[in-house]
């Protein structure tokens, strides 16, 4: 399982633990205080403030409550998709703010706009969950494809193949594959360097005004 693999990597996993506070050098979970030099927060965050600015109903995270066709109540001409939209599936579970959901919502919205132009009735959005994949270490991952669950090296290969398959463009796929192969066999990360003139317009004027010429020496 994912927990077993994380523990083999030296990670102490704590479940059913609510973080009640983060302070300099420590994390609080209830009455317990865990010292920490570095704290990485990877939980959910609030939605874009744009939702609240629209003056429409939002949930506690700031996501816009949308109709089944992804339009706003009272404004059928406005659609909200992606992680700014709050919509539940057939089982009453809120759809996650991940790329597969947003991609399917975008396709569904485009089709409904086309149906509007053709004076046809709209179709409600139905998310098709094709599974979830996540890497949790070197050559280790977890995969959930409905009733089929797998972890370890096989799941990692599945994640790699699917990730590359959905990249746009053959060139991008080859580049990513080479970079991953380099990282895997050398234990080093490839670095992409962007070089050239990075000065902004007007920077030279400010530099000449507030600093001495580069060739001037102070005795």
Domains and CATH numbers, the chain: 2-35 (no CATH), 50-117 (3.50.50.60), 132-186 (no CATH)
How would you class 86 by CB atoms within 10 Å of its CB: exposed for 0-12, middle for 13-18, buried for 19 or more? buried
Distance, CA of 7 to CA of 1 (rounded, Å): 10
CA quadruple 45, 91, 81, 129: dihedral positive or negative?
Answer: positive
Nearest to 150 by CA among 130, 129, 128, 133: 133
Q: What is the pLDDT along the chain (219 residues), one digit of tens a residue?
A: 678 778 887 888 888 888 888 888 899 998 889 998 888 887 766 788 888 888 899 998 899 999 999 999 999 999 999 999 999 998 899 998 888 899 999 999 999 999 999 999 999 999 998 888 888 777 788 888 877 888 888 888 888 888 888 788 888 889 888 888 888 888 776 655 555 655 555 545 544 444 444 444 444
């Amino acid at each position: 399982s994912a927990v077993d693999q994380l523990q083999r990597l030296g990670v102490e996993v704590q479940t059913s633990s609510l973080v009640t506070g983060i302070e300099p050098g420590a994390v609080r979970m209830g009455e317990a205080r865990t010292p920490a030099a570095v704290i990485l927060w990877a939980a959910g965050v609030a939605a874009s403030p744009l939702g609240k600015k629209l003056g429409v109903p939002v949930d506690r995270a700031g996501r816009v409550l949308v109709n089944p066709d992804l339009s706003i109540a009272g404004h059928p001409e406005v659609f909200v998709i992606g992680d700014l939209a709050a919509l539940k599936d057939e089982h009453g579970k809120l759809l996650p703010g991940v790329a597969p959901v947003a991609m399917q919502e975008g396709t569904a919205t485009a089709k409904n706009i086309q149906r509007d132009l053709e004076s046809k009735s709209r179709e409600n959005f139905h998310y098709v969950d094709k599974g979830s994949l996540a890497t949790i270490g070197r050559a280790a991952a977890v995969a959930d494809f409905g009733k089929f669950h797998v972890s370890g090296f096989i799941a990692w290969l599945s994640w790699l193949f699917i990730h590359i398959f959905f990249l746009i463009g053959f060139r991008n796929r080859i580049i990513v594959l080479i970079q991953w192969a380099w990282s895997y066999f050398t234990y080093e990360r490839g670095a992409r360097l962007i070089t050239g003139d990075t000065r902004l317009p007007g920077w030279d004027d400010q530099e000449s005004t507030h600093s001495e010429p580069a060739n001037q020496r102070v005795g």
